[in-house]
A and B are shown apart, each in its own frame.
Chain A
């Protein structure tokens, strides 16, 4: 029973580069969430998938951020033309649907934009 995994764990990007962050949810979990956690802050919601459908992307901070989950399991968060303000820990969480309420979080990817 593996938990949620994320890769890479650490990423350093030069300003202007594109990055792709991967999330492997718990097998069979229907719902998948991405959060952004700035230093010293609580996580903030970015986007939500139910299976392959992206049902809420209201938290994505700009059109440079894009997420996909094409087969309803693995998800990728892509950030284009990274900026220094994108530096944060990006967390992925998955949950069963049907009101279990517990989101299982991955270890996060720490992105540093220089």
Chain B
């Protein structure tokens, strides 16, 4: 079946530190890959996506590259801010007629000033 494995948290970093949250996947076929973010007290929001191998998704200083050879989609940011504190979910979908998402367990990120 399809699954997503992401780095367990919680992760605590100082402001301006470099961030990596690892994500690997198992899928039958060629999935689209996503990072969703859940800020405190808010609903899930799409952060970035990539729909084919070697695509790079980016948004708000975050980046992730779809690596088919390593089945990975690691999230990176060069300099984190306190406002990036949230829970981050890696997810995939196999969009042939049903774009249901398969999520990882989430990584809670806390940035300390």
Taking beta carbons and an 8 Å cutoff, which residues of A are in contact with B?
Answer: 4, 31, 33, 35, 40-45, 48, 55-56, 59, 91, 93, 95, 99, 101-103, 105-108
User: Would A45 and B105 count as touching, CB distance under 8 A?
Assistant: no
**Which of B42, B99, B106 is most buried by chain A, counting CB atoms within 10 A of its CB?**
B99
Return chain B residues, CB-CB under 8 Å to A31.
99
In the complex, what's the smallest C-beta–C-beta distance from B73 to chain A, in angstroms?
Answer: 14
Other contacts beyond A102-B46, A103-B101: 17, CB < 8 A: A31-B99, A41-B105, A41-B106, A42-B4, A42-B91, A43-B44, A45-B101, A45-B102, A48-B98, A55-B98, A93-B101, A101-B95, A103-B99, A105-B43, A107-B42, A107-B43, A108-B43
- Give the 7 A-B residue pairs with the shortest CB-CB distance, closest first: A42-B103, A105-B44, A45-B100, A107-B43, A105-B43, A102-B46, A42-B105
Contact of B100 among A33, A42, A102, A105 (CB under 8 A): A33
In the complex, what's the smallest C-beta–C-beta distance from B108 to chain A, in angstroms?
Answer: 9
User: Would B99 and A95 count as touching, CB distance under 8 A?
Assistant: yes
- In Å, the complex CA distance between A37 and B49 comes to 21
User: Would B32 and A101 count as touching, CB distance under 8 A?
Assistant: yes
In the complex, what's the smallest C-beta–C-beta distance from A43 to chain B, in angstroms?
Answer: 5
Return chain B residues, CB-CB under 8 Å to A35.
101
Q: How many residues of B contact A (CB 8 A)?
A: 25
User: Would B105 and A40 count as touching, CB distance under 8 A?
Assistant: yes
Taking beta carbons and an 8 Å cutoff, which residues of B are in contact with A?
Answer: 4, 32, 34, 36, 42-46, 49, 51, 89, 91, 93, 95, 97-106
- In Å, the complex CA distance between A43 and B54 comes to 26
Contact of B98 among A56, A91, A102 (CB under 8 A): A56
- In Å, the complex CA distance between A43 and B4 comes to 12
Return chain B residues, CB-CB under 8 Å to A41.
105-106
